[in-house]
Amino acid sequence: MTEVLNFPPPPAADVRSLRADVRAFLRDALSGRRPRDRARTWTGFDAEFSRELGRRGWIGMTWPKRYGGHERSALERYVVLEEMLAAGAPVAAHWISDRQSGPLLLKFGTEAQRTAILPRIAAGECFFCIGMSEPDVGSDLAAVRTRAVPVEGGFRINGTKLWTTYGHRSHYMILFCRTGSQEERQAGTSQFLIDLATPGISVRPVTDLSGESHFNEVVFTDVFVPSSALIGRLGGGWDQVMGELAFERSGPERFLSSFVLLPELLRSLGPEASERARIAAGRLVAHLVTLRRMSRSVAGLLERGENPALQAAVVKDLGAVFEQELPEIVRGLTSTEADLAAADDLASTLAHLVLNAPSFSLRGGTREILRGIIARGLGLR
Amino acid sequence: MIEDLADRLFAEIAISGAPGWPPGGAGASESWGRLAELGLPLALVPEEAGGPGLDLVEALELVRAAGRHALALPLAETMLANHILAEAGLPVAPGAATILCGGPQDQVSLRRAGSGWTLAGRAFRVPWASVAETLVVVAPGEAGPCVARLEAGAFTVEPGRNLAGEPRDAVLFDTELRAEQVRPAGRAGGPDVVRRRGAALRSLALAGALERVLALTVAYAGERSQFGKPIGRFQAVQQSLAEMAGHVAAGAAAAGGAAEAFAGADLLPIAAAKVRTGEAAGRAAAIAHQVHGAIGFTQEHILHRFTGRLWSWRDEFGDEAEWSLALGTQAVEAGPDGLWPLVTAA
């Protein structure tokens, strides 16, 4: 049970000059970008922006230099991530490859996969999407039905992946699929490195409720991949994908999705903000300060080579509550009518977040799944 | 290390039934003697002032441990009182001591009178004043805040209690003090700084009590069977306990931030910790009682010793609204462009 509460003090290091560099860069690069567009943060896709970050050494920061990385600390990487998110930088293009695909390849990939892919990711030139969910497989990931069948020289893949964010603009997918029988569940799964230009792959956009289409359905029809596309061990997919999810759940993007709204609230309240508004805003600051401490603590655990999957679930669960209540609280303080087309920044940012908030406790593991993981950590299941 | 030692000692005191339940009752002085023998009341005092010279963050873990065991003794208050006395260059207290909370209704006036001082005032909800041998009063002075050291007899007490039954007394004083009983506060700071440090202590105590309430509730959910299985096997109960664990983890982490900020009495991490642990207290107590059912709502069950403290401590040294207002005011002053730099400076 104590593991659930194990959030050691975050690592201490002087990151002031790095932070100042990142802030100065973002001030220029994002000047003129409206708050409602900033509110997209890690769902905002801008390939040229990602390439610029690659040039500055801000992707693959902790990876070995021989794979194009920069051998910086986890805390330094954390500083870059949180500055990007707080400023609302469009980081979606490289976000998944930097966060989970690259680290997965670094850990389980073959030398050939690493040398071919990692330097391109670090340069901000190679983008990944996630290949986990399917039409009938969401939270119950062990029920995946997309199947890779061994054939001469490789595998033939058939099936459908769904909710594949930026599948239409990515170069690769890490595919989690079945290589054994359906009854084997976890034990019969593997992961593959899929070049999305391979014949037989079709990508169809799915429009979300706000009218945007950044996620997709990706259909595999008799897709041939060579044996060299296998990542890690045949049948080892489950353990690998769980490790991948620890990366996916632990970062500052799990509580900063609505952050852009908080400065807009202060702008709207002005220096004469009422006591009621100050109390509400101050409470949000208290939550933010605490979540940030917990999240940096997880970054420290990751750096020490520990597996903070449980703590990551705690931070993501609390983070989603915070991200979802922030727009509701702002509504209550400002009486602003949410309007996507409004010239008013608060109204349009609020509209974007109201429409996107439901996804905060779905993507990357639903609230119920996370709380199930926490309950298991408490020894209840 | 000191935390493990304290955990064992506080657990023994709790098991022996001697912490004085109700607080301040029989056995309290014997238990206090055991803490004093180990020098725990001096844990925040530097070596040159007669303390153990512990790292402050480590020493503050004593307060978390005391919360974990619902220790019904004025340990945190005496630690803070001695810290203030030492910072001001006054002798530490020989026994139990306490400080004013610096609440909005407290009134304190300190004036020069010949070679000494006149100190007058009234203060409310002073923790453990009825058993304290020394009362530390931090007063705004003409040339900056001063610390005054009062012995029992120099102040009168109107007893009161918090929801956990701990003494929270009104205190009245109007007394002449010798020159050497009053010193410039120095690093001990003014009443506002004392209130911050008090809030940091309560955050840690809350974090300790929260931990224990979670442990009690998880254990109970594993023992209590209904419909042929332990209630902890039901998903509805599991989801509640997971939510509670999140609050407890957040409270624990926030309190860690307050401990690091104690030395400098930094507003942001301390205020954030008091707000977050206070909010966690309300939510965790509610879930704990829901899971415990009727038995948890009795005097005979141990749960109320902890939830009673959660409900009291969240109000003491400033509640969530007071500290949220302080944070919100800082945020408003920082403005839209200064908010993120403010948050990342913590």
CA-based nearest residue in chain B for residue A319: B246
Domains and CATH numbers, chain B: 2-188 (2.40.110.10), 191-345 (1.20.140.10)
Measured in angstroms, the CA of B268 and the nearest CA of chain A are apart by 8
Q: What is the pLDDT of residue B30?
A: 83
Q: What is the pLDDT of residue B2?
A: 77
Residues A73-103 have pLDDT tens digits of 999 999 999 999 999 999 999 999 999 999 9
Residues A292-313 have pLDDT tens digits of 999 999 999 988 888 899 999 9
A71: three-class secondary structure by DSSP: coil
User: Where would I find the beta strands (DSSP E) of A78-132?
Assistant: 128-131
A256: three-class secondary structure by DSSP: coil
User: Where would I find the beta strands (DSSP E) of B34-167?
Assistant: 97-99, 107-113, 116-127, 134-139, 146-151, 156-158
* Cross-strand partners of A103: none
Residues 175-194 of A with CB under 8 A from B: none
Half-sphere exposure of A307 (CA within 13 A, CB side): 8
A284: three-class secondary structure by DSSP: helix
Residues A99-125 have pLDDT tens digits of 999 999 999 999 999 999 999 999 999
Mean pLDDT (chain A) is 95
pTM: predicted TM-score of the whole model, two decimal places: 0.96
Cβ of A380 within 8 Å of Cβ of B232? The answer is yes
- Residues A137 and A150: their CA atoms lie apart, in Å, by 23
Distances (CA, A) of A85 to A71, A260, B63, B335: 22, 8, 36, 18
Q: Find how far residue A58's CA is from the centre of its chain.
A: 16
Residues A329-370 have pLDDT tens digits of 999 999 899 999 999 999 999 999 999 999 999 999 999 999
Name the nearest CA neighbour of A247 among A95, A100, A59. A100
Cβ of A283 within 8 Å of Cβ of B275? The answer is yes
What is the amino acid identity at position B13?
A: I
Who contacts B94 (Cβ-Cβ below 8 Å, separation ≥6)? B133, B134
What confidence category does residue A244 fall into, taking pLDDT thresholds of 50, 70 and 90?
A: confident
Where chain B has pLDDT below 70, the residues are 1, 15-26
Q: Is the distance from CB of A240 to CB of A167 less than 8 angstroms?
A: no
Residues 284-323 of A with CB under 8 A from B: 285-294, 297, 311, 314, 317-318
- Taking each helix axis from N to C end, the angle separating A345-356 and A309-334, rounded to the nearest 10 degrees, works out to 140
Q: What is the pLDDT of residue B272?
A: 98
Name the nearest CA neighbour of B3 among B54, B53, B64, B47. B64
Domains and CATH numbers, chain A: 8-127 (1.10.540.10), 130-235 (2.40.110.10), 240-377 (1.20.140.10)
Cβ of B335 within 8 Å of Cβ of A314? The answer is no
- Joined together, the tokens standing for residue B129 give 């004043």
- Residues B268 and B273: their CA atoms lie apart, in Å, by 8
Q: What is the pLDDT of residue A2?
A: 79
Residues A320-331 have pLDDT tens digits of 999 999 999 999
pLDDT beyond 80 at A1: no
- Residues B115 and B121: their CA atoms lie apart, in Å, by 20
Residue A240: count other Cβ atoms within 10 Å of its Cβ. Answer: 20
B239: three-class secondary structure by DSSP: helix
Q: What is the pLDDT of residue B214?
A: 98
Mutation target vs A (from B325, B330, B333, B337; most A CBs, 10 A cutoff): B325
Characterize the bridge pairing of strands B97-99 and B134-139: parallel
Complex ipTM value: 0.96
